[in-house]
Amino acid sequence: LATALSSAALAQDISGKVVGFSQIGSESGWRAAETSVTRQEAEARGVDLKFADAQQKQENQIKAIRGFIAQGVDAILVAPVVATGWDEVLTEAKEAEIPVVLLDRGVDAPEDLYLTSVASDQVEEGRVAGQWLVDTVGAEDCKVVELQGTVGSTPAINRKQGFEEAIAGHDNITIARSQTGDFTRSKGKEVMEGFIKAENGGADICAVYAHNDDMAVGAIQAIKDAGLKPGTDILVVSIDAVPDIFTAIAAGEANATVELTPNMAGPAFDVLAAYWADGTEPEKFIITESKLYTSADDPAGEYERRKDLGY
């Protein structure tokens, strides 16, 4: 694993540092992968990671962050479940001079309350998914149903916006229904069942756009249960690129996904190392890549590659 570390990180020994990590929960396969990669990245650097699972609740995250401040940790990583409501606790961390790094989701708070944010461009992810649909359906009429992520989270807000931007001006493509599936497989399935009932047993649905792969996997099950073929009768496009969606793509049951790296902690530890060494201020936003994968991109190989990465 040492070879995976950047030269900056190798140059700075941060072993012995204590870092608190307030994780959202385990709503998705991607989230579980992020947790395991964060643990690996900490271990490789000799960082003592204090892990707190908030079980999807902001109040639990706020409590965990206050606990980390009381313990006097060297830094705090937080994946903020929703965008608003962070000013007070982030101010407390700042007053305690503990740097905070946001992972994978954003906050509506003054930028001086955190050292940096490591995340994807979630509007771009939505655009990439939407552009794939535009290119795929051409001039055909296409009624889309949308499974949104957690209400009030930046990925739900931004992935919706990006997709809408991509289909704007293509009047043959319309979003017929849009509801939250909370980024989980079970809610994705449940909400999709409702969409299918409301849309002529699914016959009127051309595509499902899910804000993450787990909801897409749930939707695929609902489509099958309704006697339709996912990937053919109803196109499936989503975001994350977790192993299970590659299984579905390989089987022809899903069509496209946009990759989100689970390694947000690696860049976070690198900037913290430089910050601790000599106060180097990192870029405020460290943006990870958003690459499209379809059946043309060796889905079986991508599945294996991710299993090797610690998903």
Question: Nearest CA to 40 among 10, 79, 1?
Answer: 1
User: Looking at 12-20, 22-30, 274-282, 297-305, which segment touches ligand GYE (CB under 6 A)?
Assistant: 22-30
User: Looking at 23-31, 84-92, 191-199, 227-235, which segment touches ligand GYE (CB under 6 A)?
Assistant: 23-31
Check binding of 263 to ligand GYE (CB under 6 A): no
The vertex-246 CA angle with 241 and 251, nearest 5°, equals 150
* CA separation for the pair 303, 257 (Å, rounded): 13
In the complex, the smallest distance separating the C-beta of residue 212 from ligand GYE, rounded to whole angstroms, is: 4
* CA separation for the pair 61, 78 (Å, rounded): 8
Q: Measured from the CB atom, is 22 or 28 closer to ligand GYE? A: 28
Over the window 192 to 231, marking each residue x when it contacts ligand GYE by CB under 6 A and - when it does not, the resulting string is --------------------x-------------------
Helix (H) / strand (E) element for 21: namely strand 18-23
* Partners of residue 147 on adjacent β-strands: 179, 210
* CA separation for the pair 218, 248 (Å, rounded): 11
Strands, sheet with 256-259, edge to edge from the N-terminal-most edge strand: 173-180, 142-148, 207-210, 235-240, 256-259, 292-294
The token pair that represents 107 in the structure block:
């906050």
The token pair that represents 189 in the structure block:
């399935």
The token pair that represents 195 in the structure block:
């969409």
One of 42, 216, 239, 271 touching ligand GYE (CB under 6 A): 239
One of 9, 12, 20, 30 touching ligand GYE (CB under 6 A): 30
Over the window 127 to 166, marking each residue x when it contacts ligand GYE by CB under 6 A and - when it does not, the resulting string is ----------------------------x-----------
Check binding of 260 to ligand GYE (CB under 6 A): yes
Q: Measured from the CB atom, is 104 or 146 closer to ligand GYE? A: 104
Interface with ligand GYE (CB under 6 A): 27-28, 30-31, 104-105, 155, 183, 212, 239-240, 260
